[in-house]
Amino acid sequence: MARQVRSSKDAILGAARREFAARGFAGARVESIARAAGCNKAMLFYYFSSKEKLYRAVLSRALGEIFAEIAGIVHEQLTPAEFMEKFPEIYVRFLARNLDLPRILVFDLVHRPENIAAAMTDILRANTDFRPQRFQDMIRSWHRQGLISEGDPLHFMLNVVSLSIFSFLARPLVEAISGLKVQNDEAFCRARIQSVVRILKQGMLK
Amino acid sequence: MARQVRSSKDAILGAARREFAARGFAGARVESIARAAGCNKAMLFYYFSSKEKLYRAVLSRALGEIFAEIAGIVHEQLTPAEFMEKFPEIYVRFLARNLDLPRILVFDLVHRPENIAAAMTDILRANTDFRPQRFQDMIRSWHRQGLISEGDPLHFMLNVVSLSIFSFLARPLVEAISGLKVQNDEAFCRARIQSVVRILKQGMLK
DNA sequence: GATTGGTTTAACCATATGGTTAATATAGTA
DNA sequence: TACTATATTAACCATATGGTTAAACCAATC
C-alpha cells in the first residue's frame, strides 16, 4: 500500500508552486506541472481533482509558511523598537529565500483577493492561538503609551509590510528607471533591511 | 476613409486594459476584449496583429501615463521635504483614480520584468528631457548636504514608492489578517497619504 | 459611377488545454 | 495464492483559444 504516496503528491505540489509562481494561475500548464513533477498528468487530477484545487493547495501552503515565519514574532512581547528591528530582518530574509511566495501571492492579491481571504481564514482557524485582535491592541497600546506616532494599526502594518516586501516586486522597475543594477543579492538584502529598519524607527518611533 | 479609426482602436485599447487588468495576460481572452470593445475579434488583429503586441501597447500606454504624472514633480527643484509631501499625494491619488494600472504593472513586474524594462526604455527614449541620472544626483546631493539620512538613491526611491503603491495591492491581505475593513476610499486615501508623508519626513529627513 | 483604401464581418483552422476513462501495476494482507 | 486498495499510465475527448482568410462595406475622390 501507498509506500511513496507523499513523494508523488509532494513532487506535484512543489512543481506546481514553481509553475504558478513563474506563470500565474491562468498561465500555468497542468501538463508541464506534471512533467516537472516526473509523473503523468492524470496523477495530478488523481490527487487534486482540478487545477483550481491544486492551486488552492499551493496557495494555502505558501500563506501558511509565511504565516509561521511571522507568527513567532507577534507572540513575543516586544517593544516597538524591537519589533521594527526584527520584523524586516525576518521578513526580508524569508522572502529572499522563498521568492516564489511573493510571486504567487501578488497575483492573487491583485486579481483574486477572495482567494487570499479564504486561505487566510483557513489558516487563522487552524492556528487558534493566533489572535490578530491581540496584535492590533498591542499597536494601539503602543500608541496610547506615546511610544509610536502612527496610531492606526492598519497603516502601521501597511508601512512595515510595504517597505519589507515591495522591493522584491519593484526591483526590476526601479532598476530600469534608475539605471542602477543590483549585483549582489546578499548585499542588497542587507542594505534593504538596514534602510527599512532605519526609516521605520526614525519615522514611527517617538 | 478612416472616419472613425480612432474610435475602434481606442475602444480596443480601453477594453484590453480592463481585461488585462482583471485577468492578467494569460487569463485575458482576445474574444472578450473584442466583444467589450464592441467589435469583431478580427478587428483586434487588424490593428494590433497579435495578443502580445496589443498587450505591449496597453503596457506602454499605462507606464506612459504614470510616468507623465510623475515627470513634473521630478523636474521642479524641490526641497526633500517638499518632495516627500508632494510625491505620495500625487502618486496615491493617481493610483486610486487608475486602479487598472497597478494591477497591470504588478503582474509584469513579477512575471515578466523584461517587458517593463523594455517599455520603460521606450518611454525614456521618447521623453528625452527626462534624465533619471539627474534625479539620482539630486538625491545624492540632498544626502551630501546633510538634508536626508538615506544616501542610496535606490533605497530612497524604494522607500517612497513602496509606501505609496503597496497599500493598493496589499489591502485585501491586510484587511483579511487584521479584520479591519476599509469602508470609504476617499478617507482611506487621505489617511494613507498622511501616514506615508509622516513616516517619510520623520524617517528620512534630518 | 467606377476606383481606391481603410474598415468590418462571418466563417474557418490548427492546436493547446483541462479533464476523463478504463485498464494496469504494485504492495500489503488474509 | 487470491483479494483489496491505492498508485500510475496511455489513450482519449470536448472545448476554448489565438490567429487567418476572403469577401463585403463604406466614404471620399476622380
pLDDT in tens, A25-37: 999 999 999 999 9
Is strand D within 7 Å of residue B41 (CB)?
Answer: yes
Contact B70, B92 (CB under 8 A): no
Instruction: Give the pLDDT band (50/70/90) at residue A160.
Output: very high
**Per-residue model confidence (pLDDT) at position B128:** 76
Q: For residue B56, what are the CA distances in angstroms to A26, A183, B118?
A: 19, 28, 10
Kindly report, residue by residue over B64-100, the tens digit of the pLDDT.
888 888 888 877 889 999 999 999 999 989 988 888 8
> CA-CA distance, B141 to A174, in Å (whole number)?
19
The amino acid that residue A13 corresponds to is L
Q: Would the CA dihedral through A57, A63, A66, A71 be positive or negative?
A: negative
CB contact under 8 A, B153 and A178: yes
Q: How far apart are CA B145 and CA A108, in angstroms?
A: 43
Q: How far apart are CA A118 and CA A193, in angstroms?
A: 31
Delimit the CATH 1.10.10.60 region(s) of chain A.
1-49
Residue B15 Cα distances to B34, B59, B94, angstroms: 8, 13, 20
Q: Estimate in Å the CA A75 to C1' D23 gap, whole number.
A: 72
Name which of A199, A204, A205, A206 to mutate to probe chain B: the one with the most chain B Cβ atoms within 10 A of its Cβ.
A199
Q: What is the pLDDT of residue B154?
A: 87
Which chain B residues touch A149 with a CB distance below 8 Å? 198, 202
Percent of chain B at pLDDT > 70 equals: 92
Set of cell numbers at residue A65: 509558511
pLDDT > 60? residue A17 = yes
Q: Pull the grid cell for residue B85.
A: 509631501
Is the CB of residue B46 inside 7 Å of nucleic acid strand C? yes
> Does residue B167 carry a pLDDT above 70?
yes
In this complex, which residue's CA is closest to the C1' atom of nucleotide C27?
A1
Checking if the pLDDT of B4 tops 60, the result is no
pLDDT tens readout for residues A164-173: 988 877 777 7
Top pLDDT among B111 and A95 is at A95
Name the average pLDDT for chain A: 87
User: Is residue B60 a contact partner of residue B119, using CB atoms and an 8 Å limit?
Assistant: yes
Pick from B155, B172, B199, B17: which is nearest to A105 by CA?
B172
Residue B200 and residue B194: Cα distance in Å, rounded? 10
Residue A177 has pLDDT above 90, yes or no: no
Protein B71 CA to nucleic acid C15 C1', in Å?
45
B55-204 homologous superfamily: Tetracycline Repressor, domain 2 (1.10.357.10)
Helices A153-178 and A185-204: crossing angle in degrees, nearest 10, is: 140
Position A133 scores a pLDDT of 82
Q: Could you tell me which of B51, B40, B29, B163 has the C-alpha nearest to residue A158? A: B163
A108 neighbors A62 (Cβ within 8 angstroms): no
Q: Where in chain B is the domain with CATH 1.10.357.10?
A: 55-204
Superfamily of domain A1-49: Homeodomain-like (1.10.10.60)
pLDDT at B178: 67
Measured between alpha carbons, how far is B192 from B188 in angstroms, rounded to an integer?
6
Note the strand C nucleotides within 7 A of protein beta carbons. Answer: 5-11, 16-22, 27-29
Calculate mean pLDDT across residues A69-95. Answer: 89
Give dist(CA B134, CA B132) in Å, integer.
5
> How many CB pairs lie under 8 A apart between chains A and B?
200
Q: What is the DSSP letter of B205?
A: B
CB-CB contact of B33 with B15 (8 Å) = yes
The predicted pLDDT at position B203 comes to: 95
Instruction: Give residue-wise pLDDT tens across range B21-51.
Output: 999 999 999 999 999 999 999 999 999 999 9
> C-alpha cell of A125?
482557524
Which protein residue's Cα is closest to nucleotide C9 at C1'?
B40
Q: Is the dihedral of CA B97, B153, A199, A133 positive or negative?
A: positive
Q: Which nucleotide lies nearest residue A32, CA to C1'?
A: C17
The DSSP bridge partners found for residue A205 are: A148
